[in-house]
């Protein structure tokens, strides 16, 4: 097990990084970074200008205090292929055997030969179907041509990419820190609201049951405030993060604009939940929601979501469950505030330390 790992969440507008350091039986947070991507470097998760991207990463390595060089990079949802395949329960769960069995299914589902993909899969559980007892096998893949340019840049900067992981699976890893045994009857709804998209994922009995990507994100709120007030989008984002405009009465017109945009997104989330309840859910479980991404920082949005969806919504604060390695430089209050924004990067760094998760569970921040 490596002594330190950096999780890198790659976005079109921002890159988030979290470095974890293992000290004995403890896992500590040694660095958290959130920095803008130069315009034109990344588009829809694809690296389109490697040189500009390399200069930006080089500046970040100089500006922040990272302890090591090991990196787990995130594969953006737009470029990730995720499928759930049914396999007869009498097939061995050993990966070589399982892969040979599902290879034809994978090939029929995808237009790209398996040899041109980076992929992984895991058995979610056993259940009874029309075909008898089956495993639900989660398969995640990305084209090598989409990942290799990033790896080359990181290698040129002396970084060691130990894995490329789907963002969805990375954030799901943080669920281990949120749940206790008595919570297993709950269905967790993960809402990752990034700038352009919203990923909605459902977890039953600790395993992924369904996921959907919506082409709507927090940027539409920011853009509307920017246009209405005649300020930059960066200023508008700061305003939304600092003030709960939904509760302000002095500017009813702006309040109505923001509320309308938010409810458009909520309607789409409602539709996904309704589909899940009708077609996927095993039924009976209560919902609880976890919100993350830039949208989680919009003041009052979690409360609005909870009211509209009809079940509790909390922000993903799991990063604050760990202690900072240097409390004077990286205060626990900082981890608490930034945690929802960097939860995917945190989950990526946890890739190396998944065996430690059971011992870390239940250590939530008391605030």
Residue 188: give its domain's CATH number: 3.30.420.40
Q: Is 284 found in the same domain as 220?
A: yes
Among 1, 4, 6, smallest CA distance to 345 is for 6
CA 351, 98, 125 angle in degrees (round to 5)?
65
Q: Is 204 found in the same domain as 297?
A: yes
- Helices H / strands E in the chain, number of each: 12, 16
Q: Is 191 found in the same domain as 138?
A: no
Question: Which pLDDT value is given to residue 329?
Answer: 87
Residue 359: inside a domain: no
Residue 212: inside a domain: yes
- Of 315, 341, 361, the one marking the end of a domain is 315
Long-range contacts of 339-342 (CB under 8 A, 24+ apart): 339/315, 340/291, 340/292, 340/293, 340/296, 340/297, 340/315, 340/316, 341/16, 341/34, 341/292, 341/293, 341/294, 341/296, 341/297, 342/9, 342/16, 342/17, 342/18, 342/32, 342/34
The runs of H, that is alpha helices, within 179-251 are: 219-229, 233-242
Among 206, 198, 126, 138, smallest CA distance to 166 is for 138
Residue 15: inside a domain: no
| CATH number, position 135 | 3.30.1490.300
Q: Is 297 found in the same domain as 225?
A: yes
Residue 112: inside a domain: yes
Residue pair 286/310 in contact by the 8 Å Cβ criterion: no
Bridge pairing between strands 313-315 and 287-292: parallel
Residue pair 114/107 in contact by the 8 Å Cβ criterion: yes
Q: Can you spell out the DSSP letters for 8-54?
A: EEE-SSEEEEEEEEEETTEEEEEEEEEEEPPTTSEETTEE--HHHHH
Question: Which pLDDT value is given to residue 366?
Answer: 40
User: 211 forms bridges with which residues in the sheet?
Assistant: 201
Residue 232: inside a domain: yes
Q: Is 250 found in the same domain as 133?
A: no
Question: Which pLDDT value is given to residue 185?
Answer: 74
Question: Which pLDDT value is given to residue 248?
Answer: 66
Number of domains in the chain: 2
Distances (CA, A) of 118 to 9, 96, 99, 147: 17, 15, 13, 8
Backbone angles phi, psi at 303, to 5 degrees: -65, -45
Tell me the three state secondary structure of residue 219.
helix
Q: How far apart are CA 193 and CA 363, in angstroms?
A: 25
Residue 237: inside a domain: yes
Residue 118: inside a domain: yes
Q: Is 215 found in the same domain as 301?
A: yes
Q: Domain range holding 238?
A: 180-315
Residue 250: inside a domain: yes
Residue-wise pLDDT tens for the chain (367 aa)? 899 999 999 888 788 999 999 999 899 999 999 888 888 898 888 899 999 999 999 999 999 999 999 999 998 766 777 777 888 888 888 878 888 887 777 777 777 788 888 887 777 767 777 778 888 787 788 889 999 999 999 999 999 999 988 888 888 888 888 765 556 678 899 999 887 788 899 988 777 788 888 888 888 878 888 888 888 877 777 677 667 666 666 667 777 777 777 888 889 999 999 999 888 887 667 899 999 988 888 878 888 889 889 999 999 999 999 999 998 888 889 899 999 999 999 999 999 998 888 777 655 554 5
Q: Is 191 found in the same domain as 116?
A: no
Question: Which pLDDT value is given to residue 113?
Answer: 83
Distances (CA, A) of 143 to 79, 140, 147, 159, 295: 8, 11, 7, 21, 28
């Amino acid at each position: 097990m490596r002594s330190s790992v950096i999780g890198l969440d790659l976005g079109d507008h921002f890159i988030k990084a979290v470095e974890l350091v293992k000290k004995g039986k403890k896992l500590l947070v040694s660095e958290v970074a959130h920095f803008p991507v130069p315009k034109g470097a990344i588009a829809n998760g694809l690296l389109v200008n490697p040189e500009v991207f390399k200069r930006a990463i080089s500046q970040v390595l100089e500006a922040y205090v990272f302890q090591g060089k090991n990196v787990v990079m995130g594969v953006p949802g737009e470029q990730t292929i995720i499928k759930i395949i049914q396999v007869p329960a009498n097939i061995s769960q050993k990966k070589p055997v399982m892969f040979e069995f599902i290879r034809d299914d994978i090939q029929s589902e995808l237009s790209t030969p398996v040899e041109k993909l980076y992929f992984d899969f895991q058995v979610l559980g056993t259940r009874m179907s029309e075909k008898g007892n089956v495993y639900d096998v989660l398969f995640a893949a990305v084209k090598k041509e989409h990942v290799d340019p990033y790896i080359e840049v990181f290698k040129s900067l002396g970084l060691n990419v130990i894995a490329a992981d789907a963002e969805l699976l990375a954030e799901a890893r943080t669920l281990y820190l949120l749940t206790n045994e008595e919570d297993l009857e709950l269905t967790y709804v993960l809402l990752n609201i990034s700038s352009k998209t919203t990923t909605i994922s459902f977890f039953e009995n600790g395993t992924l049951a369904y996921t959907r990507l919506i082409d709507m994100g927090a940027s539409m709120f920011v853009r509307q405030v920017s246009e209405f007030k005649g300020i930059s989008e960066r200023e508008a984002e700061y305003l939304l993060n600092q003030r709960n405009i939904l509760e302000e009465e002095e500017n009813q017109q702006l309040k109505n604009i923001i509320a309308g945009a938010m409810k458009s997104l909520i309607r789409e989330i409602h539709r996904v939940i309704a589909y899940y309840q009708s077609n996927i859910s095993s039924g009976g479980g209560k919902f609880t929601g976890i919100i993350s991404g830039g949208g989680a920082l919009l003041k009052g949005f979690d409360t609005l979501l909870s009211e509209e969806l009809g079940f509790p919504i909390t922000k993903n604060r799991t990063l604050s469950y760990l202690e900072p390695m240097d409390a004077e430089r990286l205060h626990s209050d900082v981890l608490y505030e930034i945690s929802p924004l960097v939860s995917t990067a945190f989950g990526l760094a946890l890739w190396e330390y998944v065996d430690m998760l059971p011992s870390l569970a239940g250590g939530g921040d008391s605030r």
